[in-house]
Amino acid sequence: MSDSAFDWLSAAELSKLFSRRQASPVELVNAMLKRASALQPHLNAFVLIDAEGALNAARAAESRWQQGSPLSPFDGIPTTIKDTTNVRGWPTRVGSYSTDETPAIENAAVVDRFLAGGMILLGKTTTPEFGWKALTDSPLQGTTRNPWNLAHSPGGSSGGASALTAAGVNPFNHGNDGGGSIRIPAAHTGLVGLKPSYGRIPQSPADAPFADVISQGVLARSVLDTAMALNLTAGPDPRDWRSLPAEARDYTVGLDAGVRGWKIGLSLDLGHVTADPEVRDLIVAAAKRFEDLGAHVEEVGPMFEPLQQHFEPLWIGGFATRFRQIPTQLHDKLDPGLRALAEKGLSITLADYARAYEAKSKLARDLALWHRNYDLLLAPVTPTAAPPVETLYNSDAFPRWTKGAPYTLPCNLTGQPAASMPAGLTQAGLPVGLQIIGPPRADEVVLRAMRAHESASGWTWPQPRVLETLRGL
């Protein structure tokens, strides 16, 4: 597979080419559609591709650039939408036979923001059924694979988005994060993945079982693109009463101000989690880069007790809510792991839920108070590198509370911003992610730290191991 001139360019770079008339949105979209079609049989990252709609939108964007009136710097940049998220005129299947091909009647708020900026939607990307796990396979859409190594998962639940971004299809792709679903696939595919503060990007519909822990965002190859995407998507929407007020802020301003003088905590066993020794070594080395940049980094221990005891009711209770909405005759078509948890959740009581929410509030308060003395908290994103695609999630070999999402879930419960940055490769050549956690609502602090780490790490795209895999297709 030959490399296109567009494959590994950032959205910021493409925007400059458009403004200089050195490239056009139509050329770019044609190239991305060609690459997407070639990779789909191998990665299985798309649920649908709308070539006709994308090309029509590209022609309109090209006309705006020619007239000198782009809707935003991202006008004409292609992206995709995760198939947990409504796009008007497209079905939302969420990887489940319990859904159908009925098209959505309105866009999710984040989709409206992309379209208002002139971004072009190539299609929708894969997710595990109802986004329930940190791998991406589903009964309806099969298994999505990692472009670093096709025998491994790209993570989940935004696995289709991570696979495409890491394979050079679009500079960034939409994802969302209710327990690590941006950060985990970013870590497993060597990407930049920011879970913004809860409410920074509006969530709609806002009445889903897990709406109070989900943040919208993107999986990208650069921090600048991530900051620019947040500029485009942040701000309140009346469909989400919990969305944060608008800020008079450009998230690209101050990105390169550095971290000199910052006090940073490093927790390798956050919540009493045990990471693989190889992961721990890579995280320690990645954390030391902040010392080289003038920050003070110190290990701070596990921070809080294991999460399962307090927070299991929230998750299996949410699964049970979804399960009750599915006709009985379709239960046998559900992912067996999801069904088992949902059936267990049917016994959750109101008192169980209330205790879990009380614990959620306490965790948020305790971490907010901790941040009075520390600018950042560092931790692994995952205990392991990307698992093989045949891994049975929430089995004895891969329990979700100790292997799936134990490092990422706390920040969904507290709502604070957190990101994954590439920390290096294991001996097997698989990426590991460093998690950068900021104080409540301090997205600009996390982005600044992300940019500092990016500048010091030397991590650039395309990655040789990915090129080697893709050239073999």
Q: Output the 3-class SS for the chain.
A: CCCCCCCCCCHHHHHHHHHCCCCCHHHHHHHHHHHHHHHHHHHCCEEEECHHHHHHHHHHHHHHHHCCCCCCCCCCCEEEEECCCCCECCECCCCCCCCCCCEECCCCHHHHHHHHCCCEEEEEECCCHHHCCCCCEECCCEECCECCECCECCCCCCHHHHHHHHCCCCCEEEEEECCCCCHHHHHHHCCEEEECCCCCCCCCCCCCCCCCCCEEEEEECCHHHHHHHHHHHCCCECCECCCCCCCCCCCCCCHHHCCCCCEEEECCCCCCCCCCHHHHHHHHHHHHHHHHCCCEEEECCCCCCCCHHHHHHHHHHHHHHHHHCCCHHHHHHCCHHHHHHHHHHCCCCHHHHHHHHHHHHHHHHHHHHHCCCCCEEEEECCCCCCCECCCCCCCCCCCHHHHHCCCCHHHHHHCCCEEEEEEEECCCCCEEEEEEECCCCCHHHHHHHHHHHHHHHCCCCCCHHHHHHHHCC
Rounded mean pLDDT of the chain?
Answer: 97
Per-residue pLDDT at 207: 73
Q: How do residues 398-449 score in pLDDT, each as one tens digit?
A: 999 999 999 999 999 999 999 999 999 999 999 999 999 999 999 999 999 9
Per-residue pLDDT at 447: 98
pLDDT tops 60 at residue 1:
no
pTM for the model stands at 0.98
For the chain, percent of residues with pLDDT exceeding 90: 97
179-207 average pLDDT score: 95
pLDDT tops 80 at residue 10:
yes
pLDDT tops 60 at residue 296:
yes
Does residue 181 carry a catalytic annotation? Answer: yes
When mean pLDDT is compared across 309-318, 363-372, 426-435, the lowest value belongs to: 309-318
Bridge partner residues of 142 (DSSP): 138
Cα separation, 94 vs 209, in Å, equals 14
90-99 average pLDDT score: 98
Q: Which two tokens stand for residue 42?
A: 């191998």
Cα separation, 199 vs 196, in Å, equals 8
Does residue 195 carry a catalytic annotation? Answer: no
Q: Is residue 209 very low, low, confident or very high in pLDDT (cuts 50, 70, 90)?
A: confident
Per-residue pLDDT at 245: 96
Per-residue pLDDT at 208: 80
Question: In this structure, are residues 119 and 77 in contact, taking their beta carbons and an 8 Å threshold?
Answer: yes
pLDDT tops 50 at residue 166:
yes
Question: What residue spans define the domains of the chain?
Answer: 11-471
Per-residue pLDDT at 205: 83
Q: Domain 11-471 has what CATH class? A: alpha beta
Per-residue pLDDT at 90: 98
What is the Cα 375 distance to its own chain's centre?
A: 23
Per-residue pLDDT at 2: 45
Of these residues, 96, 181, 204, 267, which one is catalytic?
181
Residues in the chain: 473
Q: Which amino acid is at 170?
A: N
Per-residue pLDDT at 9: 97
Q: Which two tokens stand for residue 186?
A: 């970013």
Of these residues, 138, 157, 197, 215, which one is catalytic?
157
Per-residue pLDDT at 206: 78
Q: Is residue 4 very low, low, confident or very high in pLDDT (cuts 50, 70, 90)?
A: confident
Q: How do residues 83-92 score in pLDDT, each as one tens digit?
A: 999 999 999 9
Q: Is residue 204 very low, low, confident or very high in pLDDT (cuts 50, 70, 90)?
A: confident
239-251 average pLDDT score: 95
Cα separation, 109 vs 89, in Å, equals 15
Instruction: Provide the pairing of β-strand 137-138 with 172-177.
Output: unpaired
When mean pLDDT is compared across 2-16, 332-346, 352-366, 381-395, the lowest value belongs to: 2-16
Per-residue pLDDT at 298: 98
Q: Is residue 5 very low, low, confident or very high in pLDDT (cuts 50, 70, 90)?
A: confident
Of these residues, 10, 15, 24, 82, which one is catalytic?
82
Q: How do residues 268-277 score in pLDDT, each as one tens digit?
A: 999 999 999 9
Question: In this structure, are residues 148 and 430 in contact, taking their beta carbons and an 8 Å threshold?
Answer: yes
pLDDT tops 80 at residue 3:
no
Does residue 4 carry a catalytic annotation? Answer: no
When mean pLDDT is compared across 208-212, 351-355, 443-447, the lowest value belongs to: 208-212
